[in-house]
Structure 1
Amino acid sequence: MLEDFGDGIWVANGPTTSVAGFHYPTRMAVIRLSGGGLFVWSPIALSPDLRRQVDALGEARYLMPPNSLHHLFLGDWQRAYPNAEVYAPPGLRAKRKDIRFDGDLGETPIPAWADDLDHVLVPGNLITTEAVFFHRASRTTLFTDLIQHFDAGWFDGWRAVVAKLDLMVAPEPSVPRKFRMAFVNRPAAREAVGRVLAWPTKKVLMAHGEPVAGDGQAFLVRAFAWLIK
């Protein structure tokens, strides 16, 4: 289930989840930190096989839900790894009273993983504030919901029409139209995305869509041209 993504990062695909009748595939990443231990990004459903594979890589020390929407399986992971630290992105602490959070993810890098990972919070969106991560060793930028891509046949009926209008089935991965419209503070979002674009991105990993394997920085410029122009 875990696939090597190169330079200390692994990817696993999970079962689909349903939101308002729309089915979304799930994806997580496991990153081996240079100081030891594992950073688990956007945890998916935890199966016995997945747990064995994670344990074979090292100790899961940090569980990171990247926004207030990707938390469905967080409780299972915390029960499986009670010593792992969990950081809350904006909005999630109030939403999940059942989760023990060890800290809040703000603009300041977390010292435990700052040598390996950078992050930017993209504010000003009514749907969620997403934390976009950058893995230095693999030059991979990780998006959760701000960039998505589905095959043209993934949705059917009226949902296919909505997905097309929402740019979820655009020719290449794109920022869905609903997220574009939900940015009520575009100057703040533009500043944050500018910092993301400054990373030397080679690859782009997203929770909902196939990864971009190369020339990631140019791809991100295209994906956010509507905001930064």
Structure 2
Amino acid sequence: MAKFNEEWTVGPHGPLEAIDDGLLTVEGEIVMPLGRFPRRMTVARLAGGGTAIWSGIPLREPEMRQIEALGDPKFLIVPGVGHRLDLKPWKQRYPSAKIVCAPGAREAVEEVLPADGLDSFDDAEVRLEIVPGVGERELAMHVRRGGKLSLLLNDILANVQHPHGLGAHVLARLMGFGVSRPKMPWVGKRMFVEDEKALAAAFRAWAAEPDLTRIIVSHGDPITRDVQAVLEGIAAELEG
């Protein structure tokens, strides 16, 4: 079994940013030899009260109070098999929160804690989707605010253009985490993709969303420019 954090351990992280109404995001870092690799958490306020936590990262107490002011964390979303590091301390801090994951990731998630399965959140503006073509191991999340759509993707797209340290830079470049432009990491493609046509069709469907404003990825900076072109480009690479 991989090593997972047992206690609330705060690592390096930036400020908690409000990028839309009831939508917060923060970049944390995984400390590694010769560098620090970026990872990102996003928090969405739900219509019925409370919040959904996408890929939870322990933060300092001032930032945690900001999250709690938005609403009690009700759902801990594990967007893919590689994002279980801090699941246990988040569940310990918020024991009533449900653990949400894709069906194909459930076995991996339950190496840490039992999962509750998918949920509709009872919110027309916040929706989870099982990503096609990857063995039901990855989730996407759609968050609509005032006519604008934010799309959250996990390890099928990365935008790590500012890796910190030699080790992080080498890892990001070798594994294709989008050092020069947003890309699908080749390691994710090799590990997860089972049906390239189905996944390409999903990228094209997301690109066709007329209100799509930004893509928030689990590794790297949010993508806010040419978002449709980025998705279409990944689809073309999968089809080619």
TM-score band by shorter chain is 0.7 to 0.9
Aligned counterpart, 1:146: 156
Q: Does 1:172 align with 2:192?
A: no
Aligned counterpart, 1:133: 141
Secondary structure of the residue that 1:139 maps to in structure 2? Answer: strand
Q: Does 1:101 align with 2:110?
A: no
* Preserved contact between residue 105 and residue 138 of structure 2 (Cα < 8 Å): no
Aligned counterpart, 2:17: 3
Q: Does 1:36 align with 2:49?
A: yes
TM-score normalised per structure 1: 0.81
* Preserved contact between residue 148 and residue 173 of structure 1 (Cα < 8 Å): yes
Deviation at 1:39, TM superposition (A): 1.0
Query: What CA distance in whole angstroms lies between the structure 2 residues aligned with 1:21 and 1:115?
Result: 44
Aligned counterpart, 1:73: 86
Query: What CA distance in whole angstroms lies between the structure 2 residues aligned with 1:111 and 1:132?
Result: 13
Q: Does 1:208 align with 2:219?
A: yes
Question: Which moved further from structure 2: 66-75 or 192-201?
Answer: 192-201
Deviation at 1:11, TM superposition (A): 0.8
Secondary structure of the residue that 1:99 maps to in structure 2? Answer: coil
Deviation at 1:161, TM superposition (A): 5.4
Secondary structure of the residue that 2:212 maps to in structure 1? Answer: coil
Secondary structure of the residue that 1:5 maps to in structure 2? Answer: strand
Secondary structure of the residue that 1:133 maps to in structure 2? Answer: strand
Residue type matched to 1:31 in 2? A
Secondary structure of the residue that 1:226 maps to in structure 2? Answer: helix
Query: What CA distance in whole angstroms lies between the structure 1 residues aligned with 2:123 and 2:195?
Result: 28
Deviations 1:105-136 (A, max 9, x none): 3xxxx33244122333224448x821111111
Number of positions where the alignment pairs a residue of Structure 1 with one of Structure 2: 221
Query: What CA distance in whole angstroms lies between the structure 2 residues aligned with 1:119 and 1:4?
Result: 21
Identity of aligned residues (%): 28
Query: What CA distance in whole angstroms lies between the structure 2 residues aligned with 1:65 and 1:113?
Result: 19
Query: What CA distance in whole angstroms lies between the structure 2 residues aligned with 1:41 and 1:67?
Result: 10
Distance 1:115 1:98, change over 3 A: same
Distance 1:26 1:17, change over 3 A: farther
Q: Does 1:89 align with 2:97?
A: no
Query: What CA distance in whole angstroms lies between the structure 2 residues aligned with 1:119 and 1:88?
Result: 10
TM-score normalised per structure 2: 0.78
Question: Which moved further from structure 2: 7-16 or 191-200?
Answer: 191-200
Deviation at 1:22, TM superposition (A): 7.9
Cα RMSD for the two superposed structures:
2.8
Secondary structure of the residue that 2:79 maps to in structure 1? Answer: coil
